[in-house]
């Protein structure tokens, strides 16, 4: 016996549920990310204490003078956390920009290349992707030297292979469409096809992937700083704050909890943003 057809109200509820979830996810992502961005922007013009100020007592508990307490040198933890937000966003934006430009370019070249060139480039990308981002970043930073610029360059180069492979796959799908064949027949050149057909169709998916890669970049920077390969002092980094607080985590847990929560909030916020964007940009998830 066949199941009874859905009523109009049930169909509306079924189709609108994914969109409501996507809206809620997007809002949560915006809120979490906005808090970190606000802290970073405020740090550009104001800090509770200079990073070099060691006038506070050693490992002070949170209070009116120091809202999050102080570290083992007497430095204000809130000030370090705010500057760490600036560093995390700078690394994330810089690394994603490098990965977007380089990865998209390589992916487009592979999509338009001859079959044997495409196969060679695809194999190379697969080999690069097989190595973790952090490992590749560590190798590049070890060659370039530890600095904020080296961290951004290393993480961006390591992530570009993922974007390149995705761009290649998406571009080849678009190039197989009939409207692209018609454009070629009408005399449209490669640049015209890329500008008018390929990029507009792959941009939404690439935007979601780049948002996810932003979280990867934040985690990679924190890991590099934890290992002493990130931004050197006096720059404050969440990863270095974790490394410095590991010896006093039982006596002063805020020193480790604050940067840890900040890292989780930023990564979750960006991932929620990516999930929310996917709900609104993926045609198969939209309501009709």
Residue range 116-130, pLDDT digits in tens = 888 888 888 888 888
- In degrees, to the nearest 5, what angle opens at C-alpha 232 toward C-alphas 49 and 62? 35
Which pTM value belongs to this model?
Answer: 0.85
pLDDT tens for 234-280 read 778 999 999 989 888 888 899 999 999 999 999 999 999 888 877 76
Band the pLDDT of 6: cuts 50, 70, 90. Answer: low
Residue with tokens 């390149």: 164
- In degrees, to the nearest 5, what angle opens at C-alpha 58 toward C-alphas 55 and 64? 70
Burial class for 204, CB neighbours closer than 10 Å (0-12, 13-18, 19+): middle
Please state, rounded to an integer, the average pLDDT across all residues of the chain.
85
Whether 5 shows a pLDDT value over 70: the answer reads no
Q: What is the percentage of the chain residues whose pLDDT exceeds 90? A: 43
Q: Domain 20-42+76-285 belongs to what architecture? A: Orthogonal Bundle (1.10)
pLDDT tens for 68-100 read 999 988 899 999 999 999 999 999 999 999 999
Band the pLDDT of 12: cuts 50, 70, 90. Answer: very low
What are the boundaries of each domain within the chain? 20-42+76-285
Those residues whose C-beta lies under 8 Å from the C-beta of residue 5, and which sit 6 or more positions away, are none
List, as one string, the DSSP characters of 230-261. Answer: SSPTTS--HHHHHHHHGGGTTT-THHHHHHHH
63, 78 contact by CB (below 8 A): no
Band the pLDDT of 143: cuts 50, 70, 90. Answer: confident
């Amino acid at each position: 016996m066949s199941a009874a057809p859905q009523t109009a109200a049930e169909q509306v509820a079924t189709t609108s549920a994914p969109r409501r979830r996507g809206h809620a996810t997007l809002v949560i992502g915006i809120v979490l990310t906005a808090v970190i961005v606000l802290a970073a922007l405020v740090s550009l013009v104001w800090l509770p204490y200079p990073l070099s100020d060691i006038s506070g007592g050693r490992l002070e508990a949170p209070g009116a003078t120091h809202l999050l307490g102080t570290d083992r040198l007497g430095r204000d933890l809130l000030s370090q956390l705010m500057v760490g937000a600036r560093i995390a966003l700078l690394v994330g934006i810089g690394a994603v920009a490098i990965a977007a430009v380089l990865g998209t370019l390589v992916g487009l070249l592979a999509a338009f290349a001859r079959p044997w060139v495409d196969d060679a480039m695809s194999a190379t990308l697969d080999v690069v992707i097989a190595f973790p981002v952090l490992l590749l970043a560590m190798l590049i930073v070890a060659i370039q030297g530890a600095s904020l610029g080296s961290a951004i360059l290393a993480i961006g180069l390591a992530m570009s292979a993922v974007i390149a492979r995705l761009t290649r796959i998406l571009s080849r799908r678009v190039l197989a469409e009939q409207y692209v064949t018609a454009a070629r027949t009408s005399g449209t050149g490669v640049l015209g096809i890329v500008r008018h057909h390929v990029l507009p169709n792959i941009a939404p998916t690439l935007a979601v992937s780049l948002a996810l890669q932003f979280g990867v970049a934040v985690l990679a920077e924190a890991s590099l700083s934890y290992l002493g390969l990130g931004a050197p002092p006096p720059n404050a980094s969440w990863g270095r704050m974790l490394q410095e607080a590991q010896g006093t985590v039982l006596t002063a847990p805020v020193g480790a909890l604050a940067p840890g929560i900040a890292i989780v909030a930023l990564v979750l916020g960006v991932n929620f943003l990516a999930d929310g964007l996917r709900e609104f940009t993926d045609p198969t998830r939209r309501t009709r």
